[in-house]
Amino acid sequence: MITERKLQEVTGYNKNQIRRRRQNHWVEGVHYWRDEAGTIVYSNEEILGWQEMTRGCTTREVGAKSLGMSTVAEKQKPSLSNSLKLVVRKPQESESKSSEMNT
């Protein structure tokens, strides 16, 4: 359990970044909670785990993962080799003759 100031040192996030992550991504009772005095304290381990989990993910995927859900995009994510293909073809004779005639 750490304070916001210590969390800033550990993660490099500023106050606004922490607030936005708390509002949009982190789960109260998991990543942070309020102590008896009403001060917000953070779970360093959970937040560092969240950072590792979210590398290379979209914001939508991050939100779903922080709630323990998987997304359709995650299940159907194609491999890079299947997503891009370069096709090279030689022009046929009729195409090359017509382009020569037009010049």
Domains of the chain and any CATH numbers: 4-77 (1.10.1660)
pTM of the model: 0.53
Percentage of the chain beyond pLDDT 70 is 53
pLDDT for 103: 56
Give the C-alpha separation, 54 to 65, whole Å.
8
Produce one character per residue of 10-43: b if its CB has 16 or more CB atoms within 10 Å, e if not. ebebeeeebeebbeebbeeeebbeeeeeeeebbb
pLDDT bracket for residue 54 (50, 70, 90): confident
Percentage of the chain beyond pLDDT 90 is 49
- What residues have CB less than 8 Å from 66, skipping those under 6 apart? 25, 26, 27, 31, 50
Would you say residue 5 has pLDDT above 50?
yes
Least confident segment among 20-24, 29-33, 71-75:
71-75
